[in-house]
């Protein structure tokens, strides 16, 4: 876990980790904030909690939630990259199912029909990459 936590414009740095309260059976997961008395209490056991300990608890939960969000975004991006060819196939299929439209070749603009044999021939990806780069004036 990092000792620096950024929350929008707020930057919190933790120096040392001290036990601020004796260990109990209650983990103090339900917290009530009393705005009138500026008191923080555990809703389960009723113990008054120290503000510093409560802040560190919030920061730990924030870090966990942020890590989960980042992992979820990473998995989503990986899934999108993995399913790119499926998306393209679905678009072509949708166009072929249309009674009035056919998909077009992105290079020459000619219509591609289901009877044209799309997918019957293949080329090595690295050869195709080199050909495309040569056409663009690259390699």
Q: What are the tokens at 134? A: 């040569």
- C-alpha to C-alpha distance for 35 and 39, rounded to whole angstroms: 7
- Count of other CB atoms within 10 angstroms of residue 40: 19
Q: In this predicted model, what pLDDT tens digit does every residue of 23-45 receive, in sequence order?
A: 567 888 888 888 787 888 888 88
Check: CB of residue 65 under 8 Å from CB of residue 72.
no
- Residue 71 C-beta-side C-alpha neighbours within 13 Å: 6
Question: What's the confidence (pLDDT) of residue 136?
Answer: 85
The CA-based angle 23-26-27, given to 5 degrees, is 80
- Count of other CB atoms within 10 angstroms of residue 92: 16
Check: CB of residue 54 under 8 Å from CB of residue 47.
no
Q: What is the pTM of this model?
A: 0.48
Q: Which residues of the chain have pLDDT under 70?
A: 1-3, 10, 12-24, 138-139
Phi, psi of 12 (to 5 degrees): -115, 130
Question: What's the confidence (pLDDT) of residue 71?
Answer: 96
Dihedral sign for Cα 133, 134, 137, 139, please.
positive
Report residue 58 CA to chain centroid gap: 22
């Amino acid at each position: 876990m990092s000792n620096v936590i950024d929350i929008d414009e707020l930057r919190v740095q933790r120096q040392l980790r001290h036990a601020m309260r004796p260990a109990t059976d209650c983990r103090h997961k339900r917290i009530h904030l009393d705005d009138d008395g500026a008191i923080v209490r555990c809703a389960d056991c009723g113990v008054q909690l120290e503000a510093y300990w409560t802040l560190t608890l919030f920061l730990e939960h924030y870090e966990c939630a942020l890590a989960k969000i980042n992992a979820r975004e990473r998995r989503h991006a990986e899934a999108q990259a993995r399913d790119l060819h499926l998306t393209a196939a679905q678009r072509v299929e949708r166009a072929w199912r249309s009674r009035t439209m056919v998909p077009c070749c992105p290079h020459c603009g000619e219509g591609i029909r289901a009877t044209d044999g799309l997918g019957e021939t293949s080329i090595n990806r690295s050869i195709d990459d080199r050909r495309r780069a040569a056409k663009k004036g690259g390699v």
